[in-house]
Structure 1
């Protein structure tokens, strides 16, 4: 029997999720919930022949009794939707778009809601399922560049937008080794990129992991440019240097691996354009297995997402207070409030 899914959201990325569910053998999209735009809700539900549609999530849950609620709405509306899903008896798993939350208190509340109500949760960092990025992780685990020593990662979009994906990928490539400390800096909010998420336009950090690996992360308008890219959302790259070589990957360009000892040097295509829907389908297809055996964990589960979210909050914290912060640490909302104030001026 297929798992039943309710999709929350009606914009472009919700359409991609609906398309992915249509391709899934293990899940069935049974309802779509909108926020306020009835025309957009009707158009999306009609496109995929979904009869159950509503602007009221609680009512839609009663009508459809889903196993999964997939929340693809804007981040500022997410907490109330998660509250409704977490308290509904039939729901077993909540899928959440990145970023996990806009404030530390929201993230902690989401974690507590899911744990208290026995709900599994995933955060959709589907970059891990892009073929070239998945291969990069396999090569790193196989020792293609020896032991990882240093990572440089960058995106030209802000830290809460594509920066959340970037930091998650750094953590993933380093096998989610615990973080010892983070020391970061951030500039003001000036709205330099096209993201709807309010965050500092520039942020950077030095990260030390418990396995000795160091990482430098740059997010925002001042980050390095990838030659040939015209879309700021495609300026995402991770370079890893090891004891025997290096691996460099860019979101929509190439995966390059060089071993200094053997002389082996390979370059192959890395493409978001060609594979982002396939990656989303693979991510969605991983959900039933996780639900059947949650003790095995998932590379996008809430525990992993909280680790990378802690790094983001550590950057905010050290930008506010200076110095460096050791993790784990419980952060307060004050560290992000100045950016919301700047956005409203």
Structure 2
């Protein structure tokens, strides 16, 4: 059974900067994973107003687990998730472990009544069936799901979206987005930002192509080195997306993960933003021209704190939706799978579509 796709017409809430009454208790979170992005999550929790980290779960490295837990003075730690959840009764399970382990961790987390929400690092899953199963079991157990696309909370990127919504460049006509890291790594963020900038308009069709999987970038996630696509949205906006080694470079950047840029063209002007350089907005009619700083290095922790604090509003009012909820995240995930599908079979494909694992699994044999 495939995951159902809900209507995207519900109003989006602005979840940045949520504050609780001083007498309200914070949500309790358990962090699952001790490598990579886990340290940033642990650090962000220290500054959160509405959620606190009460436990950390590792996989097999007890030394790394104890080091991380000691650094942030977290008493509860374990290499067995079920034991930790039984001990701490958290509201939130925050999964930052490698993507190939997420489904099994979700299966454990949904069994605990105290858990209200499961947060998952991007990408949602490596295979379509895993994504559908995560969606189905969380729905069956009445658990909310977020996928951590915290780029939406970066100050410059949040401002860019607000400017687009208020008509700073007129009606949007075309979007170009790129990253020099593969589609399942930073490409998942880039595609999600395209959806975000276009107000999550449903997708009419996708037509994509991919190269081989030769490990030309520094990502540990198996994916083709080059991917590109043309996307048509139901509101008439078209987008082109380039991911991987052949994508455009951002001048001055030496870190491949910083070669991320989105350009939006409207009837009255354009907006251009680079992850770690600048936000530029030009209106051809009024002649206004704004250039401001866009900084991942200065803003990523602030963005992550705001994202984690936004969980409280979503848990309190799930009907209001969330800009990173499963509904919206599945939209961008479907676009990624559509690129894989059309690269294998040709032509273009309408969405939603029930994708099979073979469109992804074939790249594992190319390593």
Q: TM-score range by the shorter chain?
A: over 0.9
Matching residue within 301, 305, 308 for 1:277: 301
SS of residue matched to 1:331: coil
Alignment partners' CA distance in 1, 2:358 and 2:149: 26
**Is 1:82 paired with 2:121?**
no
Alpha-carbon separation, structure 2, partners of 1:255 and 1:306: 27
Tell me which residue corresponds to 2:29: 5
Spell out the pairing of 1:167-246 with structure 2 (5 A cutoff).
167-246=191-270
Aligned to 1:165: 189
Aligned alpha-carbon RMSD (Å): 0.6
CA apart distance, 1:39? 0.6
Matches of 2:349 and 2:190 in 1, distance apart? Answer: 20
Cα distance in 1 between the residues matched to 2:274 and 2:102: 30
Deviation at 1:342, TM superposition (A): 1.5
| Most deviating of 119-128 and 12-21 | 12-21
Offset, 1:87? 1.6
String of CA shifts for 1:27-65, please: whole Å, max 9, x gaps. 121110001111100000001111110010001111111
Q: Deviations over 1:13-38 (max 9, x none)?
A: 11111111111121121110001111
Q: Could you list the runs of 4 or more consecutive aligned residues of structure 1 that deviate by over 2 angstroms after TM superposition?
A: none
Counterpart of 2:69?
45
User: What is the CA-CA distance between 1:126 and the residue it aligns to?
Assistant: 0.2
Aligned to 1:141: 165
Unmatched 5+ stretches in structure 2: 1-24
What are the equivalent positions in structure 2 for 1:36-75 lying under 5 Å apart? 36-75=60-99
Distance in 1 between the 2:127 and 2:147 partners?
Answer: 16
Query: For residues 73-108 of structure 1, what are the alpha-carbon distances to aligned partners after superposition, in whole Å with 9 as ceiling and x for unaligned?
Result: 010111100110112111000000000000000000
Paired with 1:87 and 1:303, the residues of 2 have a C-alpha distance of 22
Distance in 2 (alpha carbons) for counterparts of 1:145 and 1:201: 33
Q: How does 1:280-299 map to 2 (within 5 A)?
A: 280-299=304-323
